[in-house]
Amino acid sequence: LLKQGKLEPAGLLLRTYLAEYPNDPDFLYYLGNIYFDLKSWNRSYLYFLSLRNVLLDRDRGSRILPIVAKYLGELNYKLDHSEKSTQYYEEYLESSPNDTEIRYKLAQIYFTLEDFFKAKKHLAYIRQINPREIDASHMLGEMYFLYSRVFAPNFFAVLEAEKKIPRDGVVLFLHRYLRGDTE
């Protein structure tokens, strides 16, 4: 059924037999994925959380535990549980520290939670491993402008030297403001 793309019948079939195999990681993983694809976030969260608990009880060194943490981070993000989302994303990043997409998303969440120290830490790490990353540089520039006017001119000078000041947009106007351009 999964290979045919029939997600709902596959999910129903797996749920029917889940009572006979309640701690089977494969059942829970497939159910979590099926309901994630069907955008049934609460059900998917239930199955991935159950899978996490089964894996933690059996084998804390499981290779799929970080993947489950990533799914749980994504599901909490979709369900507007930002603080819980950061917990699972941080757990995922312990095993995949160079995943810049998740690190950037985590920085955005910390920014909305007003935890600027952690947001800057993740953005600086992204800039360190991928110096060409423009979005992280721009977000970091905006954060310096908003919350650290003392360091903002120095950071914007670095962005200018790296040729990361765009031709239009917020970052350009912040840069011009910091230079004292009144136009």
Helix (H, G, I), strand (E, B) or coil at 96: coil
In angstroms, rounded to a whole number, what is the distance separating the alpha carbons of residues 175 and 163? 12
Predicted pLDDT of residue 18: 87
In angstroms, rounded to a whole number, what is the distance separating the alpha carbons of residues 38 and 181? 51
Predicted pLDDT of residue 144: 86
The length of the chain in residues reads 183
Measured in whole angstroms, the distance separating CA 21 from the mean position of its chain's CA atoms is: 31
In angstroms, rounded to a whole number, what is the distance separating the alpha carbons of residues 54 and 167? 52
In angstroms, rounded to a whole number, what is the distance separating the alpha carbons of residues 142 and 163? 16
Report the helix count and the strand count for the chain, using DSSP H and E.
10, 0
Divide the 183 residues of the chain into consecutive groups of 10 and give the mean pLDDT of each group. Answer: 87 87 89 94 95 88 90 96 96 94 95 92 93 88 85 88 88 88 77
Beta carbons of 51 and 36 less than 8 angstroms apart: no
Predicted pLDDT of residue 93: 96
Measured in whole angstroms, the distance separating CA 43 from the mean position of its chain's CA atoms is: 20
Predicted pLDDT of residue 2: 83
Predicted pLDDT of residue 24: 87
Predicted pLDDT of residue 180: 85
pTM: 0.85
